Amino acid sequence: MTSVGAIPHPRDILLGAQAAANLLPVCDHYSGVPARMRKSLQLQAQMAQEFGACVFDVTLDCEDGAPVGAEAEHAALVATLACEATPGARVAARVHPVDHPAFEADVATIAGQAGHRLTHLMVPKVDSLDDVLLAERAVDRAGMAHLPLHVLIESPAAVQQAFAIAEHPRVQSLSFGLMDFVSAHGGAIPASAMGSKGQFDHPLVVRAKLEIASACHAHGKVPSHCVVTEFSDLDALRSAAGQAARRFGFTRMWSIHPAQIRPIIEAFAPQQEAVDEAAKIIAAGADANWAPISLAGVLHDRASYRYFWQLLERAQHTGRTLPRAVQQWFSVPLISTP
């Protein structure tokens, strides 16, 4: 967000270099079956009207969605659906891993034909910075040199490289691939760690999540939490999403079923009381030209202003109602669409 006239915008003042940090919807919904991909895009449009903002991304999936032997046809369908999406839609695509025979063709078709409509490209099974560079070159050859990359961290080697991967300027977000990560340990981690409860208890899984979240925050990127496979158990989903947001520092989460979308948005959205309090603090800080103030007996300065400003940003892109005192700074959506 830029300044208005000669008056600096609070985002520029409070975040400084962090103002370039990426703001993304808190939910990333994955779909690979043709009928479900279409329904996901329809649901996105409906909920955008309801919330007044595009509150989740739709990622059209080639890795798990493409039938074996029909990878080219599936990639062509993904490109077509992305191009046909309604204006304002936030559509992405997950391609095959960089070492898969279909990777180059996926990128050439999807980025080449629909790159102008994509918010980003998800690259799975990234183990190192070299994998990121391979993906970057492939996207550039398709003519989309500015298309952001999201990467999926799914192995112990990838976790060890998380900071180097997050530092790459084209990487916008790191996601955690829980099931592949557990499987990569050759049985050393029990299967229960792939479930909604066990994944928050096993030390190696917890360490991986913290490394990914920390790497993202160190470089101004978005940490995206893994799926909850028990998609019919919404209580388990709410618990996992709440822990991911409040205890582990994730600001985004995957959905694999439409019923998971609203609970994820709710879990990552600030409570309305917190939004109202943040608005009072930011309005008072602006009146004081961002000098330290005392409000209700509590000291506030640039550090707390920064925190509460970011809370307001999160409120906006989760559809919360912003108090009138701060609405002037949020007239332009924070999250851009193609």
Q: Residue 332's pLDDT is what? A: 64
> What is the per-residue DSSP string for 210-240?
HHHHHHHHHTT-EEEE---S-TT-HHHHHHH
Going by C-beta distance under 8 Å and a sequence separation of 6 or more, which residues neighbour residue 307? none
- Whether 183 is covered by a domain: the verdict is yes
Phi-psi region of 289 (alpha: psi -120 to 50; beta: other; left: phi over 0): left
Are both 82 and 158 inside the same structural domain? yes
Q: Which of 282, 291, 293 is nearest to 329 (CA)?
A: 282
Do residues 219 and 317 both lie within one domain? Answer: no
**Phi, then psi, of 183 in degrees rounded to 5:** -65, -30
7 within some domain: no
CATH code of residue 253:
3.20.20.60
Tens digits of residue pLDDT in 288-326? 999 999 999 999 999 999 999 999 999 988 988 899 999
Both 34 and 85 in one domain: the answer is yes
Instruction: Answer yes or no: is 161 within a domain.
Output: yes
Please answer whether residues 176 and 208 qualify as being in contact, where contact means their C-beta atoms are separated by less than 8 angstroms. yes
Q: Is 303 exposed, middle or buried (0-12, 13-18, 19+ CB in 10 A)?
A: exposed
Closest CA to 117 of 148, 136, 92: 92
Question: Are 238 and 297 in the same domain?
Answer: no
- At residue 231, the pLDDT reads 83
- In eight-state DSSP terms, residue 318 is T
**Are residue 166 and residue 282 in the same domain, yes or no?**
no
Within a domain: 228: yes
293: containing domain: 271-329
The total number of structural domains in the chain stands at 2
Together in a domain, 249 and 280? no
> What's the pLDDT at 338?
72
Domain membership of residue 19 (yes or no) is no
Do 55 and 89 lie in one domain? The reply is yes
The whole-number pLDDT of residue 62 equals 98
Dihedral Cα 292, 307, 248, 18, nearest 10 deg: -110
Q: Is residue 96 part of a domain?
A: yes
Sign of CA dihedral 97, 261, 231, 259: negative
Does the residue 338 lie in any domain? no
Q: For position 22, what pLDDT does the model report?
A: 62
Give the model confidence (pLDDT) of 12-52 as tens digits: 888 865 554 568 999 999 999 999 999 999 999 999 999 88
Residue 1, domain member (yes or no): no
The whole-number pLDDT of residue 315 equals 92
Specify whether the CB–CB gap between 54 and 23 falls below 8 A.
Answer: no
Sign of CA dihedral 338, 144, 28, 22: negative
Closest to 91 in 3D by CA, of 81, 103, 105, 76? 81
Can you say whether the dihedral through the CA atoms of 320, 324, 326, 332 is positive or negative? positive
User: Which residues of the chain are under the pLDDT cut of 50?
Assistant: 1-6, 20
Q: Which helix (H) or strand (E) holds 45?
A: helix 34-51
